A = this chain, B = another copy of it.
Amino acid sequence: MKKRLNADIQKPKIVKHFYKTILGQGFEGASIAKVAKRMNIHPSLILHYFGNKENLTLALVDYVIEAYNSLLKKYKAKDLAPEDRLERLLEAIWSREYYEKINVAGSFAVLAVSFRNEKIHGKIRDLYRIFKKFLVREFRFLIDNNLICMDDPEQTAEIIMTMIEGSRHFRAFIIDDDRDDDQVRRYNQEMISVARKLLTSFSS
């Protein structure tokens, strides 16, 4: 006697299970049937809610993007003393919480698909635009308080974003054993250190 759930609950649930299936089986391996099996529902129910796989995929992308976006919304440093805000920002960016919010395999799957789907590519581009704006706003605050200096905050934001995405890549492929927490922590500290120098000692 399975309880019936309404669309508001069931739809996000399906998306989440789709995401989990992708993590285990990859994008190509994540069929509607497998998602349904994992949820113990009928495959047709998924198509009933999403119409087709394209829509399910787009919903997944929204889910992943929203997960990232929530990190920015959560980030509140207004109450901190200006001199502490730089450290807070750097630590947030290279924190476990940030880069583990969405599994790196999940990210890559979505990014790979985006090359063949302009809608998805656009959504990702939007996410980065929002993130860039966020960084520029933080930089401007720090500049106004004479804590850092730079010629072009937009340009500097681009460099920091490059380093952030590079770090995600690095942790996944270059660090020998990704279970070695010390190595990862040391690497993150390295990156924070470089970013700090970049923000405080360069005049561009």
Contacts and interface: CB of A to CB of B under 8 A. Distances in A.
B162 A191 contact: yes
A165 B128 CA distance: 16
A75 interface: no
Interface in A63-122: 104-105, 108-109, 111-116, 121
Interface in A131-185: 132, 155, 158-159, 161-167, 169-170, 172-174, 176
Interface in A31-83: none
A169 B166 CA distance: 8
What number of copies of this chain does the assembly contain?
2
Contacts of A201: 201
Contacts of A194: 159, 198, 202
Nearest to A186: B155
- Which label, helix, strand, loop or mixed, suits the secondary structure of the A interface? helix
A162 B167 contact: yes
A105 B114 CA distance: 9
Contact of A159 (B29, B116, B155, B191): B191
Interface of A: 24-29, 104-105, 108-109, 111-116, 121, 124-125, 128, 132, 155, 158-159, 161-167, 169-170, 172-174, 176, 187, 190-191, 194, 197-198, 201-202
Given A158-B190, A162-B163, A164-B166, 10 more contacts: A105-B112, A108-B112, A124-B173, A125-B173, A159-B190, A159-B191, A161-B166, A161-B174, A162-B169, A166-B169
